[in-house]
Structure 1
Amino acid sequence: MSAHRSWFARALVACAILAAVTALLGWYLYRQSGRTPGELLDYADRRIDGHPVVETLAAPVMHLLRATFGAPSVADRARMGFVIPPPPPRRGASEIAPPERIPPRARVWRVSPDGPIRRIGEVARLARDGDVVEIEAGDYHQDVAVWEQARLTIRGVGGAARLLAGGRNAEGKAIWVIRNGDFDVANIDFIGARASDMNGAGIRFEGGRLRLRRCLFWNNQMGLVSSNDNPAPRSELIVEDSEFAYSYVDGQHWGHNLYVGSMRALTVTGSYFHHVGIGHLIKSRATINDIRYNRLTDEVGGRASYELEFPNGGVAQVIGNIIQQQIGTENSALVSFGAEGYKWPVNTLYIASNTLVNDHPHGGTFLRVAHGSGGVVSANNLLVGPGGYQVADRLTVVNDVRADWEDLRMPARQDYRLATTTARTAYQPLSDEFQGARLTPDAQYVHRHTTRRLTSAPAFVGALQDQPP
């Protein structure tokens, strides 16, 4: 009997040691994975789905783990809904982009709520190549349009022109469809786009060149969507001083603030992307991407997946941005590169002078790069919160600095300036063409959606040079 008890005691000790080793190994692998507990639990749910006995046995453990880590299931997240506030007040004359010079011999069309031409859709049919369309400040309800001119300037005057979809769309796609021309659009608000295919957008951009200035995209299924260039990328999208927010599709569909298909180039400057339901703040398949001096912050109530994704690689320069992931994220990585396979001849990521903030307390990854890239250069970034880099190929790091929330002024209110500065947070100068790209910032983001030129060389790591003395 004594021998039996001794064997049983040894077995219990062995089991306890095995359990402890397994727990420690699991904890180590979890920390190394860069994934959040919610992601790992979602993966486990998918693996045991369809196995009733395993599901029954695992259910109490899964419930306990989700409660412990504050990680609701996919079904629970779908029931949460997504709170969308009213859009900000319509901007007045002092808050819009200044008018640019009207080209010689251009015809000017004027749309106004009480003028001879009251419908934007009518002007879209009348305007000819090279004309200028001016839309007086005001609200325009269910006024959708398709623009197919070779060259056109469209701008709100006297304040922003606000387009409220109200259940209507052009071609089943968007409030505006812009196709195969050279367009300059300024001071227009796109609100409430819906479509039966769940891709209702403020603008559907279908080839050509489009420049946006001081525009607002709010509460659309998709903010702006571009089609793919086939067979060769030729189109270009330029976004300046604009705001994209609260893109959402009911249920579990993706609602991106900005979705860019295969095209030649994307440039985004001085813009504010925030609060998206399940989708990304920016997702771009362009071959050349220049993302500078923006604020990409999902903030409280947001449910973004990636804040910034380049699923097919390309050349991406991410310079001087504030990028923040909050606790309700649907994905653990702030920036992702090459997750769906590389398709361009050159696939290189340059990420410099950004402030990267991960508010998730239980894990995350600042940067995730799939195998097969041409390399990653990371310099003078400020990293706040848990996480690291997951880069499968060559990674060059210069003076990236880690910080905690108490090192910042008021991170709970998205004030990510350094509370104090030391030699540790000093900027390290780079050569003009460091590793093949110009990585030294010459401006910084200023809220709400604009930029300010720097009057001297950068002094600190991160996106914000306005620091305490």
Structure 2
Amino acid sequence: MPLMNTLSAIADGMFFAQGSTLPRNLFLLVFVSAASICTAARAAEQLPVSPVYKGEIRRGADGKLRVEASTDPLKPAVDDSAKPATMRVGSQERITTISEAAKLARDGEVIEIRPGSYRGQPAVWTQNNLVIRGSGERPVMLADGKSAEDKAIWVIKGGNVRIENIEFRGARVPSGNGAGIRFERGHLVVTRCTFVDNEMGILTSNLADMTLEVRDSEFSAAPHDMADLHHLLYVGAIGKFTLSGSRFEQGYKGHLVKSRARENIVRNNMLADGMSGRSSYELEFPNGGIAYVLGNVIGQSAGTDNPVLVSYGAEGPRWPVNKLFLVHNTLVNDFHTGTFVQLWDEKFPGGIESWIINNLTVGYGDLNQPAHGRFEGNQSALRRDLIDYGGVPVRLNSSSPLRGSVRIPGQANGMDLIPAAEFSFPVGTKPIRIGNSLAPGAFQ
């Protein structure tokens, strides 16, 4: 047999040449048995065992290969922010200005901006699938009296853009709407960025197929201008707006957050104006839409010009579906009077469906039961019964009788209303574990 002849030759040439005392026939028996078992095992398995996917292999900055984990073994997750830079910008780089980088960039570029202050370097980004990130200490874009298209420090026209770890300061334009970022088309993700002293932090256009996501970012210090209303974040009539893990303070006359989007998810943020703030509404949805307002701290200062914290529907409907879900928020009013939530029900044919559940109110003001929807689990607390967090009284002390006093809120339209995370000062969120009983408000 060919197999036996082969094994015999291997035994003669490799095994016994080394002076082994094992009988040749016994060796062949063991060898053949092992080979037969392996052959039978392979025959039983018609297909090879599928390998376990652990992620993509990439070369790190240190030159070593590493595996980047994926959360879905069937669809490897690729975080564009982790891709290596294809363009670097900085005083010591070949490309020294942001304006030049925006002109040279191509679709799919990963642009890395070195630390430093970039004065008077406005940019219009027209490319698709861009990642623009600051490396190390956050680089600062200073308007210094200049703007792109008389609109903003940066104008975003590309179809899919991610901006990470950049600071925008001092935007001013003749119209009074100078933005740190003017977002005009596609899908924009802004993460770990800072917006300070701009007429508008972010301002969007009004296309229904646009999506804006803002994560773990800071907005503050609206200009003290009596002639115009400057909002820290102004979202136009776009398709979807998501805001999470972000902090807003020191508004002036305008709102902290204003959104006309069709769908809004505002979750685990701190929208607290602070002692020196003088914003109007802290959160406004003037045209309704679907708004999930979950697990936020919303705080109004004693210097406000508007006693309402959250306003919904003041300008009447724009979208076919209009619902407000205000669940597990901590609402703090330092003004001498006020309304925690204002629903402009009379401007909507058939009224506004509103779920106002498990919120904690602190200070003066009314939280009125809506005409349509659910109203349950809402509680009030005195400042002395709360622990300050970032200078705002938000967390019930461990002995509070309000702990465990509310029920799990359930779901709405497939959206889980249970507080699975909470804001983490100064920006960001952290996951929390939930038991069988809950406390009202944004912190468990």
| Alignment TM class, shorter chain as reference | 0.7 to 0.9
Within the alignment, does 1:377 sit opposite 2:355 as a pair?
yes
Following superposition, the deviation at residue 385 of structure 1 comes to 1.1
Gaps of 5+ in 1: 1-98
- Separation in structure 2 between the aligned mates of residue 161 and residue 309 of structure 1, nearest angstrom: 31
Q: Which amino acid aligns with 2:363?
A: G
Following superposition, the deviation at residue 464 of structure 1 comes to 1.4
TM-score normalized with structure 1 length: 0.74
* Residue equivalent to 1:462: 441
Conservation of the 8 A alpha-carbon contact between 1:226 and 1:261? yes
Structure 1 residues 163 and 410: alpha-carbon distance in aligned structure 2, compared to 1, 3 A threshold: same
Following superposition, the deviation at residue 410 of structure 1 comes to 3.9
* Residue equivalent to 1:3: none
* Residue equivalent to 2:146: 168
Following superposition, the deviation at residue 424 of structure 1 comes to 2.9
Secondary structure of the equivalent of 1:123?
Answer: helix
Of residues 324, 329, 335 in structure 2, which corresponds to 1:349? 324
* Residue equivalent to 1:273: 248
Conservation of the 8 A alpha-carbon contact between 2:323 and 2:354? yes
Q: Which has the higher contact order (CA 8 A, sep 6+)?
A: 1
Conservation of the 8 A alpha-carbon contact between 1:291 and 1:318? yes
Q: Which amino acid aligns with 1:197?
A: S
Of residues 250, 267, 271 in structure 1, which corresponds to 2:225? 250
Within the alignment, does 1:220 sit opposite 2:173 as a pair?
no
Q: Deviations over 1:251-290 (max 9, x none)?
A: 2310100000000000000000111110000000000000
Structure 1 residues 418 and 234: alpha-carbon distance in aligned structure 2, compared to 1, 3 A threshold: same
Secondary structure of the equivalent of 2:242?
Answer: strand
Q: Deviations over 1:34-92 (max 9, x none)?
A: xxxxxxxxxxxxxxxxxxxxxxxxxxxxxxxxxxxxxxxxxxxxxxxxxxxxxxxxxxx
Secondary structure of the equivalent of 2:202?
Answer: strand
Conservation of the 8 A alpha-carbon contact between 1:163 and 1:188? yes
* Residue equivalent to 2:333: 358
TM-score normalized with structure 2 length: 0.78
Query: Higher helix proportion, which one?
Result: 1
- Separation in structure 2 between the aligned mates of residue 315 and residue 354 of structure 1, nearest angstrom: 17
Conservation of the 8 A alpha-carbon contact between 1:315 and 1:347? yes
Conservation of the 8 A alpha-carbon contact between 2:354 and 2:370? no
- Separation in structure 2 between the aligned mates of residue 297 and residue 102 of structure 1, nearest angstrom: 30
Following superposition, the deviation at residue 196 of structure 1 comes to 0.8
Gaps of 5+ in 2: 1-77
Following superposition, the deviation at residue 181 of structure 1 comes to 1.4
Within the alignment, does 1:199 sit opposite 2:177 as a pair?
yes
Within the alignment, does 1:314 sit opposite 2:292 as a pair?
no
Q: Deviations over 1:349-373 (max 9, x none)?
A: 0011110001112x10000011124
Structure 1 residues 249 and 201: alpha-carbon distance in aligned structure 2, compared to 1, 3 A threshold: farther
Structure 1 residues 423 and 339: alpha-carbon distance in aligned structure 2, compared to 1, 3 A threshold: same
Following superposition, the deviation at residue 417 of structure 1 comes to 1.5
Secondary structure of the equivalent of 1:176?
Answer: strand
- Separation in structure 1 between the aligned mates of residue 389 and residue 97 of structure 2, nearest angstrom: 44
Q: Deviations over 1:96-133 (max 9, x none)?
A: xxx945688x8711001222111011111111111111
Q: Deviations over 1:204-229 (max 9, x none)?
A: 11121100010000001111101111
Following superposition, the deviation at residue 426 of structure 1 comes to 2.1
Within the alignment, does 1:108 sit opposite 2:86 as a pair?
yes
- Separation in structure 1 between the aligned mates of residue 124 and residue 441 of structure 2, nearest angstrom: 41
* Residue equivalent to 1:399: 377
* Residue equivalent to 2:408: 430
- Separation in structure 1 between the aligned mates of residue 377 and residue 403 of structure 2, nearest angstrom: 9
* Residue equivalent to 1:122: 100
Conservation of the 8 A alpha-carbon contact between 2:216 and 2:245? yes
* Residue equivalent to 2:62: none
Structure 1 residues 243 and 107: alpha-carbon distance in aligned structure 2, compared to 1, 3 A threshold: closer
Within the alignment, does 1:445 sit opposite 2:423 as a pair?
yes
Map 1:75-154 onto structure 2 (within 5 A).
Answer: 100-101=79-80, 108-154=86-132
* Residue equivalent to 1:324: 299
Q: Which has the larger radius of gyration?
A: 2
Following superposition, the deviation at residue 435 of structure 1 comes to 7.3
Q: Deviations over 1:384-422 (max 9, x none)?
A: 112113566314112111112122124893142123443
Conservation of the 8 A alpha-carbon contact between 1:248 and 1:278? no
- Separation in structure 2 between the aligned mates of residue 436 and residue 114 of structure 1, nearest angstrom: 51
- Separation in structure 2 between the aligned mates of residue 388 and residue 463 of structure 1, nearest angstrom: 19
- Separation in structure 1 between the aligned mates of residue 139 and residue 82 of structure 2, nearest angstrom: 22
Conservation of the 8 A alpha-carbon contact between 1:175 and 1:193? yes
Q: Which amino acid aligns with 2:334?
A: D
Map 1:224-303 onto structure 2 (within 5 A).
Answer: 224-229=202-207, 233-248=208-223, 250-303=225-278
- Separation in structure 2 between the aligned mates of residue 354 and residue 217 of structure 1, nearest angstrom: 24
Conservation of the 8 A alpha-carbon contact between 2:422 and 2:431? yes
- Separation in structure 2 between the aligned mates of residue 437 and residue 341 of structure 1, nearest angstrom: 25
Secondary structure of the equivalent of 2:419?
Answer: coil
- Separation in structure 1 between the aligned mates of residue 252 and residue 417 of structure 2, nearest angstrom: 32
Q: Deviations over 1:214-255 (max 9, x none)?
A: 0000001111101111xxx11000000000001225223101
Following superposition, the deviation at residue 455 of structure 1 comes to 3.1
Of residues 126, 134, 155 in structure 2, which corresponds to 1:156? 134
Following superposition, the deviation at residue 423 of structure 1 comes to 3.8
- Separation in structure 1 between the aligned mates of residue 430 and residue 280 of structure 2, nearest angstrom: 29
- Separation in structure 2 between the aligned mates of residue 440 and residue 394 of structure 1, nearest angstrom: 21
